[in-house]
Amino acid sequence: MSSESPSSPFPGALSRRQWLRTTGLGVGASVALPGLLPAAEMSRVLGGGLPYSALLTQMERDVTTARRAAGPIRLNFNENPFGMSPKAKDALMGNWAQHTWYMPPVRDELTATFAKQVGVPVDHVLVTQGSSEVLSIAALAANAPGGEMVAPWPTFEDLPRWGETLGITVHKVPLDHRFDHDLYQMDAKLNGNTKLVFVCNPNNPTSNLADDQALRDFVSNAARRTTVVVDEAYYDFVTQPGYRSMTDLVLKGEPIIISRTASKIHGLAGLRIGFAVARPDIIRKLSQYVTGDPNVFGLSAANASLMDAEYVAFVRGRIIEGRQMLLDALATLGKKAAPSQTNFVFFQAGKPVEQMQRYFAAKGFTIGRAFPPYTDWCRVSIGTPEEMKQFVGVLPGAFA
C-alpha cells in the first residue's frame, strides 16, 4: 500500500488515518494521547473539541516531559521552552504551495501583521533571517571601514563583532555599577567618525532595563550625529510599567534601526525570523545588504504566532512566573540578582561560572557561559514553571 495520502501534497507523508493507526490513535482516543503528540495535531484528533487554553496546558506538560527526556534541560541560550504556538505549527504546512515559490506572499502578510502590531506603516519594516541579520546588515550598510562604533559592554555581541570584522573600531563602554548603559561615557566616545551606536534594552546578558527617559534622550541625541541601533529582542517579556519601544522615535524620522525577533516569545529561533523597524529610506538601504530571503516555514509560523494573542500571553505569563520563582529563591538565599525584564536571570554566584555550570550539569541543567568581566555571575534562562521548580530545588546546593 502506498504511504501517500491522495490529499497529501507531500510524497511519502503518512495520511492522517495512517498516522493515527500507526500511533494507535483513533477517534475518541484522547486518553491514549502520547506525551509528544504535537499540540495542533491533537486539536484535530479531538475534533477541535479541546479549548485552546487546555491545549496549551497539555502542551506545557508535553514539552516539559520531552525536554527532560532529551537530556540536560537547556537554560543557556534564552530560548522559549514551550516551542512554537500550535497555530504556528498548523501554518507551517498550511502554506505548502508557497514552499515552491520565490517571493512568497506570506512575506508581505507577515510584514503587514508585524507593522500593524508595532504601529508603523509597512514601508518601515524589513523581515529578516532572525534579528541577528538586522545587526549584520546594519554594520554592512554603515559601509564604514576605518569608522567607529560605540556599544555598551557586555552586551549582545553580534553588532560589535560585525563592526570589528568590517574594520570598524568598536568602543566597548563598560556598564556602570548597576549594569546600566553608561550613557555619559558612551556619549563621550561619540565623534565625527562614529558610524554606528548600539544599545540593547533590556540588555543581554544582564537582563535589566535602562531608564526609559535617559536612554531615549541619549538615543535621540546620538541620532542627530549618526545611526543608532536599538536591540529590543526581549521587548515581549518586559513588565515594568511605562516601558515603550522606541518606534515613536523612528516615526519622528530619526535615523534609528530597531531590531525585534520571533525567536524569543514566539519560540521560532530555529526558523530564523527577525524584524527591522526604521525609516523607509533606511529600510531600503538595509534591504540591499540582506544575505538571502527568510524561509516560508519561518514566515508562515511567525505570521500565525503574531496573530495568536492567547499563545503569546500564555508564554509571557509562564516565563514571568518562572522568572519570579528564581528571583525569589535567590533573594531568600541572599544572592544578588539583576532586576530581570527578560526570559533569563543574571545573578552573582560568587564563584567562577564554570563551577556553577559543572554543578548544574550534574543536576541535569545547562546554564549560560561566563560574560567577562562578570565571571562570577550566572545567566540562567527561564524554562517551564515545572523546570524552574526543579531548578530552584537544587539551587541552594550550588552555593555550598
Residue 76 engages ligand PLP in binding (rule: CB under 6 A) = no
Residue in 231, 254, 386, 387 binding ligand PLP, rule: CB under 6 A: 231
Q: What's the closest the beta carbon of residue 210 comes to ligand PLP, in angstroms? A: 13
Ranked by CB distance to ligand PLP, the top (closest) residue is: 130
Site map 133..162 versus ligand PLP, x via CB under 6 A: -----------------------x------
Of positions 113, 261, 305, 343, contacts ligand PLP by CB under 6 A? 261
52-69 and 86-94 are packed helices; what angle lies between their axes, rounded to 10 degrees? 90
Which region, judged by CB under 6 A, interacts with ligand PLP, from 127-135, 189-197, 278-286, 347-355? 127-135
Q: How far is the CB of 289 from ligand PLP (least distance, A)?
A: 16
What the block records as the C-alpha cell of 248 is 515613536
Stretch that binds ligand PLP, among 11-19, 91-99, 130-138, 378-386 (CB under 6 A): 130-138
Cell 508564554 sits on residue: 315
CA contacts within 13 A on the Cβ side of 24: 4
- 233 scored as a contact of ligand PLP (CB under 6 A): yes
The three cell numbers of residue 41 are 495535531
* Span interacting with ligand PLP, options 28-36, 38-46, 114-122, 124-132, rule CB under 6 A: 124-132
Q: How many helices (H) and strands (E) does the chain have?
A: 15, 11
Residue 179 to residue 206: CA distance in whole angstroms: 7
Query: Is residue 78 at the binding interface for ligand PLP, with CB under 6 A as the rule?
Result: yes
Q: Is 207 in the site for ligand PLP (CB under 6 A)?
A: no
With 0-12 / 13-18 / 19 or more C-beta atoms within 10 angstroms meaning exposed / middle / buried, residue 196 is buried
Nearest C-alpha neighbor of 36 from the set 72, 64, 16, 2: 64
Q: Hey, how many other C-beta atoms are within 10 angstroms of the C-beta on 226?
A: 21
* Shortest distance (Å) from residue 50 CB to ligand PLP: 31
For ligand PLP, the binding residue among 95, 263, 300, 343 (CB under 6 A) is 263
CB burial readout 205-222, b (16+ within 10 A) else e: bbbbbbeeeebbebbeeb
Residues 381, 374 contacting (CB under 8 angstroms): no
Single-letter amino acid code for the residue at 224: R
Dist. CA 327–CA 278, nearest whole Å: 35
Report in angstroms how near the CB of residue 259 gets to ligand PLP at its nearest. 6
Do residues 343 and 319 make contact, with C-beta atoms less than 8 angstroms apart?
A: yes
CB-wise, 300 or 390, nearer to ligand PLP?
300
Window of 41-49, 119-127, 129-137, 333-341 that interacts with ligand PLP by CB under 6 A: 129-137
Among 43, 111, 131, 245, binds ligand PLP (CB under 6 A): 131
Q: Which of 42, 92, 200, 356 binds ligand PLP (CB under 6 A)?
A: 200
Distances (CA, A) of 166 to 102, 239, 255: 31, 37, 21
User: What does the binding site for ligand PLP look like in residue numbers (CB under 6 A)?
Assistant: 78, 130-132, 156, 200, 204, 231, 233, 261, 263, 269, 274
